[in-house]
Chain A
Amino acid sequence: MALRLENIKVQNFRNHKDIVLSFSDGFNTIVGNNGAGKTSLLEAISYLLLTKSFLTSSEKTMLNVEADFFLLEAGIDEKKVRIAYQEGKKQIFVNEEKIQKLSDYYGLFNAVWICPNDIDLIQGNSEGRRKFLDRHIAQINEQYLMDLLGYKKYLQRRNAYLKSLGNSTPDHNLLDIYDEKLIYLGSKIAKSRQVFINDLIDSFRKNYKKISEIDEQVNIIYESQALKDSFSNNLKQNRFSDIAAKRTLLGVHKDEVIFYTLGMHTKIQASQGQIKNFVVALKCAVFQLIMKKKKQMPILLIDDLNDRLDLFRLKNFIAYLSNFQDAQIIITDTREETLSEIFSSLKLQNKLIRL
Chain B
Amino acid sequence: MEYSSVAIGKAVEGLSKFPGIGKKTALRMALYLLRSEKQVTLDLAKALVSLVEDVVFCERCFHISEKKICGICENSARDQKTICVVKDFQDVFAIESTSYYKGIYHVLNGLISPLEGISPEKLTVAALLKRVEEEEIEEVILALPATMDGDTTSHYLVNKLEEARRIKITTISRGISVGGELDYVDELTLARSIIDRKNY
| Selected contact of B115 from candidates A157, A171, A176, CB within 8 Å | A157
Q: Chain B 93-122 against A: per-residue CB contact (8 Å), 1 yes, 0 no?
A: 000000000000000000011110101110
A164, B155: Cβ atoms under 8 Å? no
| Selected contact of A177 from candidates B115, B119, B156, CB within 8 Å | B156
A171, B120: Cβ atoms under 8 Å? yes
B117, A164: Cβ atoms under 8 Å? yes
A174, B115: Cβ atoms under 8 Å? no
A153 within 8 A of B: yes
B152, A157: Cβ atoms under 8 Å? yes
Contacts of A196 in B (CB 8 A): none
Given A153-B148, A161-B119, residue A177 in contact with residue B114 (CB < 8 A) = no
B160, A173: Cβ atoms under 8 Å? yes
A176 to B112 CA separation, bound complex (whole angstroms): 14
Given A156-B115, A160-B115, A164-B114, residue A174 in contact with residue B120 (CB < 8 A) = yes
Report A's interface with B, CB cutoff 8 A.
Answer: 150, 153-154, 156-158, 160-161, 164, 171, 173-174, 176-178
B155, A177: Cβ atoms under 8 Å? yes
Contacts of B117 in A (CB 8 A): 164
Contacts of A160 in B (CB 8 A): 114-115
B159 within 8 A of A: yes
Contacts of B115 in A (CB 8 A): 156-157, 160
Chain A contact residues: over half helix, strand or loop, or mixed?
helix
> How many B residues touch A, CB cutoff 8 Å?
15
Given A154-B148, A157-B152, A164-B119, residue A173 in contact with residue B159 (CB < 8 A) = yes
B156, A173: Cβ atoms under 8 Å? yes
**Pairs of residues from A and B, 10 with the lowest C-beta to C-beta distance, nearest first:** A160-B114, A161-B114, A157-B114, A177-B155, A160-B115, A171-B120, A173-B159, A153-B148, A177-B152, A177-B156
Write the nearest CB–CB distance from B176 to chain A, whole angstroms.
19
Report B's interface with A, CB cutoff 8 A.
Answer: 112-115, 117, 119-121, 148-149, 152, 155-156, 159-160
Given A160-B114, A161-B114, A164-B114, residue A174 in contact with residue B148 (CB < 8 A) = no
Q: Which residue of A lies closest to B115 (CB)?
A: A160
Contacts of A161 in B (CB 8 A): 114, 119
Contacts of A157 in B (CB 8 A): 113-115, 148-149, 152
A176 to B163 CA separation, bound complex (whole angstroms): 14
Contacts of B152 in A (CB 8 A): 157, 174, 177-178
Contacts of B113 in A (CB 8 A): 157
13 A-B residue pairs with Cβ-Cβ distance under 8 Å, sorted by A, are: A153-B148, A154-B148, A156-B115, A157-B152, A161-B119, A164-B119, A171-B120, A173-B120, A173-B156, A173-B159, A176-B159, A177-B155, A177-B159
A160 to B112 CA separation, bound complex (whole angstroms): 12
A174 to B114 CA separation, bound complex (whole angstroms): 10
| Selected contact of B119 from candidates A150, A171, A178, CB within 8 Å | A171
A174, B112: Cβ atoms under 8 Å? yes
Write the nearest CB–CB distance from A201 to chain B, whole angstroms.
36
Contacts of B121 in A (CB 8 A): 171
Write the nearest CB–CB distance from A194 to chain B, whole angstroms.
26
Write the nearest CB–CB distance from A103 to chain B, whole angstroms.
13
Inter-chain pairs besides A161-B114, A177-B152, A177-B159, 12 sampled, C-beta below 8 Å: A156-B115, A157-B114, A157-B149, A157-B152, A158-B114, A160-B115, A171-B121, A173-B120, A173-B159, A174-B120, A177-B155, A177-B156
Most B CB contacts (10 A, CB to CB) among A150, A156, A171, A177 go to A177
